[in-house]
């Protein structure tokens, strides 16, 4: 009987046929003997992570794969990003992600303040600020990034970003997307906070020193991605499985934190093509002793697809395959699942609604006749076509966690 699960999600792994690769996808063209061996020994299929005809974002796709219906659990990227920064969310909080940028005479001259490396003292100066009965919690992210929580009664996420997403335009106010009193209150306090924050940041000794050194001041907080947090059942409550997240990218740590998974640090996990995949897989093997469910995220195939770099994507997939033998160190009672959150076709340089391959391996998984892990071979696999929300019930079944329906 299988007791543990390791789920490896390769971001944006799936693709479309590329003429320069002989009309193969990067996954088909890549030399992947280790993944193909797993396919030979396991059971394969295809998955529409959000359902047919929907283009998944990485955040929504991961939630659906983990069995959290975005119709009830998702309200925007803000809550997931701030969870990834270790910020504790409470029911009713509105969360935003932000950049520290440079504003001169009301014009945004640089959205990242010259790619400032650390914004910790600036965030500390804003953290805990109150506007009326509403509190602002501000924590630093990596480099120019920050997370913001608006906490108080009667708030709403029905607001439009204050971040114009381009430089050399005037700063703008947060506006409403509905006429509710909650949206009005939220926009009002947020506009007051952003104006006050601009004053505090402009006068901050850290920025004065930057200006004296010829650097751009990080004197304006550009916020976006608002979402109102609704408490979700933790992964442990929902599945009776202890879980951990092994990822390099902030968004994926955020997904893990949002669902109550333990976030494990991996030195060398950069979310870039130079990422240390072997370190992630070694940590996965070690972690199975302590956790029932291990989520491993590998990012770079997606970024290479978004660059249209089919050669780089193929090579990165070969790099993943080379690290696969490390996972043969997993205990025999471990179910291994390989899949992707969405396709990122090189020809589109963007996500698409094409389904992704899925592979189950281990124990008494019913091996099918598929002997290669790729977009076309897996269409004929025993798992058939599933939706993202079907994946966890399949895993629960194999781990003996489902209950009898009827008598």
- Binding site residues, Zn ion, CB under 5 A: 11, 58, 302, 341
66 vs 193, beta carbon nearer Zn ion: 66
User: Cβ 297 to Zn ion, closest distance in Å?
Assistant: 9
With CB atoms as reference, the residue minimizing the distance to Zn ion is 58
Cα–Cα separations (whole angstroms), residue 285 to 3, 8, 291, 328, 332: 14, 12, 10, 9, 11
CA angle 180, 186, 188 (to 5 degrees): 100
Q: Quote the tokens at residue 268.
A: 């060398």
User: Cβ 252 to Zn ion, closest distance in Å?
Assistant: 9
User: Cβ 179 to Zn ion, closest distance in Å?
Assistant: 35
Integer Cα distance of 258 and 242 in angstroms: 14
58 vs 396, beta carbon nearer Zn ion: 58
CA atoms within 13 A on the CB side of 193: 29
11 vs 15, beta carbon nearer Zn ion: 11
User: Cβ 49 to Zn ion, closest distance in Å?
Assistant: 9
Q: Quote the tokens at residue 238.
A: 């929902």
163 vs 302, beta carbon nearer Zn ion: 302
User: Cβ 47 to Zn ion, closest distance in Å?
Assistant: 13
Termini Cα distance of the chain: 23
DSSP 276: -
Q: Quote the tokens at residue 119.
A: 């914004």
Q: Quote the tokens at residue 264.
A: 């494990």
User: Cβ 299 to Zn ion, closest distance in Å?
Assistant: 8
Least Cα distance to 5 among 262, 292, 242 occurs for: 292
The residues facing 186 across adjacent strands are none
User: Cβ 219 to Zn ion, closest distance in Å?
Assistant: 33
78 vs 362, beta carbon nearer Zn ion: 78
149 vs 300, beta carbon nearer Zn ion: 300
- Going through 209-319 in order, the beta strands assigned E by DSSP cover 220-228, 243-246, 262-264, 293-298
User: Cβ 339 to Zn ion, closest distance in Å?
Assistant: 11
36 vs 302, beta carbon nearer Zn ion: 302
User: In this structure, are residues 148 and 137 in contact, taking their beta carbons and an 8 Å threshold?
Assistant: yes
322 vs 350, beta carbon nearer Zn ion: 350
Start-end of H helices in 248-298: 250-258, 277-287
């Amino acid at each position: 009987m299988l007791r543990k699960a390791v789920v490896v999600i390769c971001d944006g792994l799936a693709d479309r046929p590329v003429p320069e690769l002989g009309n193969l996808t990067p996954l088909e063209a890549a030399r992947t003997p280790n993944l193909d061996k797993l396919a030979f020994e396991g059971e394969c299929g295809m998955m529409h992570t959000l359902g047919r005809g929907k283009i998944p974002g990485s955040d929504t796709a991961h939630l659906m794969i983990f069995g959290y219906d975005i119709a009830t659990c998702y309200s925007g990227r803000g809550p997931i990003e701030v969870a990834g920064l270790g910020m504790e969310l409470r029911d009713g909080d509105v969360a935003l992600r932000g950049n520290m940028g440079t504003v001169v005479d009301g014009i945004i001259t640089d959205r990242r303040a010259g790619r400032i490396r650390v914004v910790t003292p600036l965030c500390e100066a804003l953290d805990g600020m109150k506007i009326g009965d509403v509190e602002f919690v501000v924590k630093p992210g990596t480099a120019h990034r920050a997370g913001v929580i608006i906490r108080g009664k009667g708030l709403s996420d029905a607001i439009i970003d204050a971040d114009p997403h381009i430089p050399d335009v005037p700063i703008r106010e947060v506006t409403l997307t509905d006429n509710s009193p909650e949206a009005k209150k939220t926009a009002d306090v947020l506009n007051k906070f952003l104006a006050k924050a601009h004053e505090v940041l402009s006068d901050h000794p850290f920025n004065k020193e930057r200006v004296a050194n010829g650097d751009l001041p990080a004197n304006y907080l550009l916020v976006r991605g608002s979402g109102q947090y609704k408490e979700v059942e933790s992964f442990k409550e929902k599945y009776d499985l202890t879980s951990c997240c092994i990822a390099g990218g902030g968004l994926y740590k955020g997904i893990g934190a949002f669902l109550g998974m333990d976030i494990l640090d991996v030195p060398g996990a950069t979310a870039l093509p130079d990422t240390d995949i072997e370190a992630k897989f070694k940590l996965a093997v070690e972690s199975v002793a302590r956790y029932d469910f291990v989520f491993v995220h590998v990012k770079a195939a997606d970024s290479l697809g978004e660059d249209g770099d089919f050669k780089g994507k193929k090579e990165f997939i070969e790099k993943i395959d080379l690290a696969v033998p490390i996972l043969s160190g997993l205990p025999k009672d471990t179910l291994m699942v390989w899949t992707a959150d969405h396709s990122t076709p090189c020809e589109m340089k963007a996500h698409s609604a094409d389904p992704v391959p899925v592979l189950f391996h281990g124990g008494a998984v019913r091996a099918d006749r598929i002997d290669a892990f790729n977009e076309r071979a897996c269409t004929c696999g025993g798992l058939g076509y599933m939706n993202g929300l079907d994946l966890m019930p399949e895993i629960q079944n194999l781990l003996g966690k489902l209950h009898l329906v009827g008598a």
